[in-house]
Amino acid sequence: MASPDYKKYSLAELYDAQQNIDKEAYPDNYQLLLAEIKLKENAPKRQKISLAQQIENRVKELETKRLTNGSEKLKQQKLIRLFGYILLLVFIGVFSLPAFFHSYLIEPEYYLAINFSAWGIALISLILVYRECEKNDVGTIKLKQRKIFKLTTEKGDKKFLKYRAAISAIILALFAHFVAFKTLPVIAHEYLLTHKISSSTVTIADKRSRYRRKYCNGKVYINEYKYGSDDFGHICGKLSRHFWNSLEVGSKLKIVGTQSKLGFLVVRTEKSKVKPKP
């Protein structure tokens, strides 16, 4: 006579079988029955694994996959790629130093084209960075992040990686726009276009209510470089507090620097001898 398959029995059915089985006639079946009852009684206890234990198990599983899939080589490739990006940023930074030490006034006729180009570069950066970040292995998720976001499944890992990739892409895209809009025109002015030492008398369109505002000291807006109804080119870091306090809307200011077809790179400012019109 074949032994019953107690694995298919529910716990209630196993208890019923225990009451009715002839344990002397079927000792082997009786032992199998007891073993299955004990197994099913302990099943809920095994299912109640703590969140910390689930995270630890997940980390161990991923670590095993990392070792078996040769992720060390991929890690080296990522480090090399990161080093390349750092070198590129350093290269751009060195050539962009004039943009950080001087104010650059873009000619109004080129402002929209440069702005749109900068947003185009930002959009391309957004797509490329998102695709690159999305390729990251789940092994890049740190244990602290797993605890905070309660990541215990592969589905949760993938969702977290997508969100992280999107946030990283947006941040770097905004940075790319800043670099493209603020520094590329200066690079073109300094190294590509013909420019000459020049000076010009401009009119103050507006100024900040305080001399210091974050990183831009003595910020003033220039009427001759108007890009929209309330959008003006500005100069900052070139006026002393006393000089800035003496300026009013409509005041004349002499700017000295280099002029190219694209714009004016302001190196310093001086008091203008031209009196404002009443």
Direct distance between the N- and C-terminal alpha carbons of the chain, in angstroms, rounded to an integer: 117
Predicted pLDDT of residue 68: 55
Residues of the chain with pLDDT under 70: 1-2, 43-53, 55, 59, 62-75, 92-93, 95-96, 98-99, 136-140, 213-215, 274-278
Query: What's the DSSP call for residue 209?
Result: S
pLDDT digits (tens, 9 = 90+) for 4-42: 777 788 877 888 888 888 888 888 888 888 888 888 777
Residues 6+ apart with CB under 8 A from 222: 105, 202, 203, 204, 205, 232, 233, 234, 235, 253
Topology of domain 195-271, CATH: OB fold (Dihydrolipoamide Acetyltransferase, E2P) (2.40.50)
Task: Please tell me the distance from the alpha carbon of residue 228 to that of residue 112, in angstroms, as a whole number.
Answer: 10
Residues found in the chain: 278
Task: Please tell me the distance from the alpha carbon of residue 214 to that of residue 237, in angstroms, as a whole number.
Answer: 11
Predicted pLDDT of residue 205: 93
| Mean confidence (pLDDT) of the chain | 80
Asked whether the beta carbons of 181 and 115 are under 8 A apart, the reply is yes
pLDDT digits (tens, 9 = 90+) for 50-70: 666 676 777 677 666 665 555
The helix-helix angle for 27-47 and 11-20 (nearest 10°) equals 150
Task: Please tell me the distance from the alpha carbon of residue 238 to that of residue 101, in angstroms, as a whole number.
Answer: 9
Predicted pLDDT of residue 83: 79
Q: Which amino acid is at 147?
A: K
